[in-house]
Amino acid sequence: MADREILQLIDHAVISPTCTEAEVLAGLEVALHYRTAAFVAPPVWLPLAVASLRGTGIAAVTTCGFPLGANATATKTVEAYDAVVAGADELDMVMNYSALRSGLLGLVEADIRAVVGACGYAAQRLGQQPIVVKVILEMCYLTEGEKRQAVEFAVAAGADYVKTSTGLGPAGATVEDVEFLRELAPPEVKVKAAGGIRTVEDCRRMIEAGADRIGTSATERIAEELDE
């Protein structure tokens, strides 16, 4: 892969809990300028992203159950349905890792399945194809066994991607976790690395480990480094 192609794998994210409308607009300019794969914004700013990205080929992405994953499943399904109706191309949902760590395994899979189902139902009502659903596992909190279970549940529930982290936890993506996800997930399920990825070298390492997408808010810094 040519280094410049790294930018085409980036989901540029503006998802800080304190982000403002002006910061979202600035982030959209970054995504448009560098032609990233996607732009990720909180649900309240999704309509702004959809309007700005329409016809550009850059996916409008929002979150669900973010950042803790512990919302009631009913709440997550409403978030998912609303995201599709608002025009989202992709949805990054946070798995209920609290339930997983509690041994409530049925709840974990049912939660993911409900969100995937809500996206599919909304798309069907609108006469369009289902959107892409990425499941954030927040791997820094999980044991190796829990990581295996998380991937198994996400795959069984119909997720399109498994994703390492929210970027707001105590640790982000690691090469080892990306390799682990790529080994466990079937070929049709992709891997997104996110959290703490701020340099070209970080991106290279994650892509070499098996990441199909890179989630970062440091797109400008990465692009400047590529230019150098």
For residue 3, indicate whether it is catalytic: no
Among 11, 89, 92, 111, the one annotated catalytic: 92
Among 134, 147, 190, 192, the one annotated catalytic: 192
Which distant-in-sequence residues (6+ apart) come within 8 Å of 43 by Cβ?
62, 63, 64, 79, 82, 83, 86
For residue 92, indicate whether it is catalytic: yes
Which distant-in-sequence residues (6+ apart) come within 8 Å of 150 by Cβ?
95, 97, 100, 108, 135, 137, 139, 142, 162
Start-to-end CA span in the chain (Å): 18
For residue 192, indicate whether it is catalytic: yes
Among 76, 134, 163, 190, the one annotated catalytic: 163
Residues annotated as catalytic are: 92, 163, 192
